[in-house]
Amino acid sequence: MIRDDETLNLLLDAISRFVRERLVPAEEHVAQTDEIPADIVGEMRELGLFGLSIPEQYGGLGLTMEEEVLVAFEIARTSPCFRSLFGTNVGIGSQGLIIDGTDEQKAHYLPKLASGELIASFALTEPGAGSDAASLRTRAVRDGDHYVIDGTKRFITNAPEAGLFTVMARTDPEIKGAGGISAFIVERGTPGLSLGKVDKKMGQRGAHTCDVIFENCRVPARNLIGGVEGIGFKTAMKVLDKGRLHIAAICVGAAERMLDDALRYALERAQFGKAIAEFQLIQAMLADSRAEIYAARSMVLDAARRRDANQDVATLASCCKLFASEMCGRVADRAVQIHGGAGYVSEYAVERFYRDVRLFRIYEGTTQIQQIVIARDMMRKASV
């Protein structure tokens, strides 16, 4: 499935070098300033990071899912905020268009997303609709050759930077659940679209979220994704299937980074007359982390290959997101524990990572939502 090993390895090497030489040294600056420097954003564009998953015909790299998760393993070995900036173009912000968009919609928007000229956001969550996404209340009412959108979206990643939003809104108020929902592309600058103040988060400084507010916002009818009403919830779920696999890969890379840091510290730090890595209780934490990372990495690669083989991986993506994000949380906890008091102060990156990775168990579907998706699938299959 890897289409050309040599080209792929060149890309992976270039990204790994970029992470080591440019992103890791900038982590602390970004954490302090809450901004990714413009020169780094420019280098991300040149590397093609904004277009990893966008088809080549629209200027992207057109990576397979397997290739994409291999890239994600590398890019996640630094602060997650860097990935977050291009992550919505690779995943949830662009995939609605890629999976269900019309040819005209793709031709119009995807080249600008692939180059990073435009940042895309995915606007599903609302103040009253988080895990229960199908209960969303944002309305889109047809008026001639426009839709008029009203409602508020919450915690929208990259909204402060976004040039376009994939917005899920209810076009049929008679249908309360998923069937009444449609997906739209809304461009920044459309009258009636405004942003709330940037959220103060526990971690991931440098990555921004805020409310997106629609008030009598008129969007051309041609911006209805796929040109069909009522399929927007399914579009969102398909987007999330892929997104969850990508996030699971990010969890693997972040856990590898934290374990590297913890191992280095354990080898350097001496107590009771020897390096703490010599103590079996420390070794147990290192070994458990290594084994769990390997398990998550193997799961992610397996699910990615199956997706490339056109298998339905909705449940497997949830398995990966569930296991990898929880694994990442355990590794973060052990990495802090191995650092001892030093793990609780910001001099060491592990303190920041501990806060940054907490989000992985929540966004793109909480652990509990992944459990529900997995269990429902088991029950459905058992009853046929």
Which residues contact ligand COS by CB under 6 A? 122, 124-125, 131, 133-134, 177-179, 233-234, 237-238, 240-241, 314, 363-365, 369, 372-373
Least distance in angstroms from the C-beta of 238 to ligand COS: 5
Answer yes or no: are the C-beta atoms of 218 and 147 closer than 8 Å. yes
- CA torsion, points 203, 331, 92, 173, in degrees to nearest 10? -80
Residue among 322 and 373 whose Cβ is closer to ligand COS = 373
Residue among 82 and 360 whose Cβ is closer to ligand COS = 360
Answer yes or no: are the C-beta atoms of 360 and 329 closer than 8 Å. yes
Residue among 3 and 176 whose Cβ is closer to ligand COS = 176
Least distance in angstroms from the C-beta of 179 to ligand COS: 6
Task: Dump strand ranges (E) for the chain.
Answer: 120-123, 139-143, 146-157, 164-170, 181-187, 193-195, 209-220, 270-271, 274-275
Least distance in angstroms from the C-beta of 239 to ligand COS: 8
Residue among 275 and 314 whose Cβ is closer to ligand COS = 314
Task: Name 339's Cβ contacts closer than 8 Å, sequence gap at least 6.
Answer: 261, 262, 265, 348, 350
Bridge partners for 157 per DSSP: 209
Residue among 8 and 85 whose Cβ is closer to ligand COS = 85
| Catalytic residue of the set 66, 67, 68, 364 | 364
Least distance in angstroms from the C-beta of 215 to ligand COS: 22
Has 364 been annotated as catalytic?
yes
CA distances from 352 to 23, 65, 235, 339 (A): 15, 29, 34, 13
Least distance in angstroms from the C-beta of 133 to ligand COS: 4
Residue type, 142: R
Q: How far apart are CA 108 and CA 125, in angstroms?
A: 26
Residue among 61 and 303 whose Cβ is closer to ligand COS = 303
Q: How far apart are CA 91 and CA 384, in angstroms?
A: 33
Least distance in angstroms from the C-beta of 135 to ligand COS: 7
Q: Which of 1, 2, 116, 104 is nearest to 54 (CA)?
A: 116
Run of H or E including 97:
helix 95-100
Least distance in angstroms from the C-beta of 134 to ligand COS: 4
Q: How far apart are CA 370 and CA 230, in angstroms?
A: 24
- For 24: left if phi > 0, alpha if psi spans -120 to 50, otherwise beta; the answer is alpha
Residue among 269 and 306 whose Cβ is closer to ligand COS = 306
For the record, the structure tokens of 331 come out as 């590794």
For the record, the structure tokens of 297 come out as 């990495």
Residue among 190 and 366 whose Cβ is closer to ligand COS = 366
Q: How far apart are CA 219 and CA 228, in angstroms?
A: 15
Least distance in angstroms from the C-beta of 137 to ligand COS: 14
Q: How far apart are CA 24 and CA 183, in angstroms?
A: 37
Q: Which residues are catalytic?
A: 364
